[in-house]
Chains A and B, each alone.
Chain A
Amino acid sequence: MSRQAILLGLLLAAFVVAPAFAGPYLLSVMVVVMYFAYVGQAWNIMMGFAGQLSLGHTIYVGLGAYTAAALFVHFGIPAIFGLFAAAAVAVAAGSIIGALGFRFGVKGVYFALLTIAFAEFTRILFEHFTALGGTGGLFLPVGSRDSFDLIHLRGHPLMFYYLILAMCVGIFLLCRKLLNSRLGYTWLAVREDQDAAAALGINVFRAKLTAVMLSAGLTALGGVFFAFYYNNLFPNQAFGMNRSIEIILAPIVGGLGTLFGPILGALILTPLGEGITAATEAMGFKAAGIKQLCYGLSLLAIVKFLPEGVWPWLRLRLGLGDGEEGE
């Protein structure tokens, strides 16, 4: 077993046994860590693997969250079915954005702007969507907090804790498998050089579209979790530009295109933000924005001093070799 696998096993074990020791507050922070690790991993498929910068990625969180929540609130459809619809809606949205962008050769910054435009358009649309609550928000009926009802995703915080943990493990394994698959190589080739990739028989359009669709669908599942965990949805926080930026922070800080990056990034950023908020509150002043300010500063520091992200740097320091995909 490689040292990386051991490290990963230890991390997983820590998260599995944590609820036995940690209080509710710490658990809720760990849920946020895992949530950002999850959506960061999903975003990483599109940007880190296939090289397509999506800056409106929260559109998939929002669509997934709203779809599953609306089905539950209005039709009583349990989350376990709603998540398929959620993923389907997000995949459809992703294919539209991707197909339009890639077919018409919208590249680089322009593509990033296109994704923002779609996300913002959708945000304003949902603000006027009165059936889904509009700006007033969509609220899920809060069920018993003692049950462990996975079908309806209602119940104890511990259930949500282990659910998001399972999702993180799942997406990690999936991404690992993808990186070692033909599709993964195809994406990496497209990311590095599209002309060369095409000359080697790769259908560049299809490769990019697959990445967007998969990333969108997986991100939407994160959205479903978000909706049922927090029980309320507002267009501004489901589709806002800030959310899109939050999604991309962890994988960038951790290391773009790496499997560990999103996890490490979330492990660094969320506790950092929480710690700073707690510290300022302990000092007796309410400083809205201080957490984000620190995110901004750490992002700046990372991009300036560790542009590859923390993980590639740490991996060398820990002597874990240079090939994360291994052989």
Chain B
Amino acid sequence: MTIDLANQIITGLLTGLVYSLMALGLSVIFGVVRVVNFAHGEMTALAMYAAWGLATYLDLDPLLGLPLIAALLFCLGYGLQRGLIDSFISKPEHMQFILLVSMAIIMVNGSLLGFGPDAHGVQVSYGFDTYEIGPLLVDKVRLLAAAASLAVSLLMMLFFQKTMTGKAIRACADNLVGARVIGLDVKRLYAVTFGIGSACVGAAGALLSMLIDVMPPTGPELTLLAFIIVIVGGLGSMGGALLGGMLIGVSEVLAGYFLMPSMKGMFSFAILILVLILRPQGLLGARK
């Protein structure tokens, strides 16, 4: 009983880390561009389809396909920001929302047209391998996916801390006017940020494809999940996204364990409501 529970919690933590990576993308985009990407889960679903396609037709392991998918999503994000979203940055919030929702609708139904309503999943050869750590059983895929998520998250944090572009982007987030004054190309930096956020999504999608099946409704579900995670962690906070992902991952398995698996979403939405009302800046977000 307790061993089983412990196994569940570990599963939740590991899955949560992959969710974190996806949410990290949302958080980074919001933190810099101040646009809430309502098409986030839909983009993740596209990445999952890409991973499925690579695995099915080219026999490419999603772990190896990850850089390619991340690069593809980077281009998608960069292009969308440059070509479409940028002109909405100074418009009212609801206009941005409608823009992104329209993109989400196009992505969901485009994938429905392209891939049909059926579930697509990637079966890797080590899909059923497990590690025994003492009495605990840990899925190999899940462990690998979580480790890869952490690695990508770390890489991204390094990018923002160490590289010139990363620092310039942080400057934009900190003080937009100042960034313009010192001659930063804000439009390009925003596009890069959107691209990087999308690359996170690409990586997360590639990893998720090994853990869950993708079908058209997966997109909106993941969008909501990403929102729950970043709001709970703190919109715009990278650490918050990591923490939020793990929290939601664990709370979902716990809700599934003690209540009914189908009720786990209710649990997450209840947490979202409470956080929005009581601590809208999130657990790790700074109070304005």
Contacts and interface: CB of A to CB of B under 8 A. Distances in A.
Interface of A: 47, 53, 55, 100-101, 104-106, 108-110, 112-114, 116-118, 120-121, 124-125, 127-128, 241-242, 245, 252, 256, 287-290, 292-293, 295-297, 299-300, 303-304, 307
A288 B117 contact: yes
Given A106-B277, A117-B276, A289-B113, 19 more contacts: A53-B97, A101-B277, A109-B36, A113-B227, A113-B272, A116-B227, A117-B228, A124-B263, A124-B266, A125-B266, A128-B260, A287-B113, A292-B112, A293-B113, A297-B102, A299-B102, A300-B102, A303-B98, A304-B84
Nearest to B93: A108
A120 B272 CA distance: 11
A124 B98 contact: no
Contacts of B228: 117
Contacts of A105: 280
B99 A303 contact: yes
A114 B91 CA distance: 22
Contact of A110 (B98, B117, B269, B280): B280
A300 B96 CA distance: 11
A127 B259 CA distance: 14
3 A-B pairs closest in CB distance: A296-B105, A289-B112, A289-B109
B269 A121 contact: yes
A104 B112 CA distance: 39
25 contacts: A53-B93, A55-B97, A104-B280, A105-B280, A106-B277, A109-B93, A110-B280, A112-B94, A117-B276, A118-B269, A121-B269, A121-B273, A125-B266, A241-B220, A252-B98, A287-B113, A288-B112, A289-B108, A289-B216, A290-B113, A293-B109, A296-B103, A297-B106, A304-B84, A307-B95
Helix, strand, loop or mixed for chain A's interface? helix
Q: Give the interface centre of A256, A287, A299 by most chain B CB atoms within 10 Å.
A: A299
B67 interface: no
Helix, strand, loop or mixed for chain B's interface? helix
Interface in B250-274: 260, 262-263, 265-266, 269-270, 272-273
A127 B84 CA distance: 38
A116 B224 contact: yes
Contacts of A117: 228, 269, 272-273, 276
A32 to B, nearest CB: 18
A247 to B, nearest CB: 12
B228 to A, nearest CB: 8
Given A245-B101, A299-B101, A110 B276 contact: yes
Contacts of B3: none
A252 to B, nearest CB: 6
Nearest to A297: B106
B50 interface: no
B127 interface: no
Contact of B91 (A47, A116, A307): A307
Interface in B76-133: 84, 87, 91, 93-95, 97-99, 101-106, 108-110, 112-113, 116-117
Contacts of A120: 224, 265, 269
A306 to B, nearest CB: 12
A77 B168 CA distance: 65
Contact of A292 (B94, B105, B265): B105
B221 to A, nearest CB: 9
Given A104-B277, A245-B105, A299-B102, A124 B97 contact: no
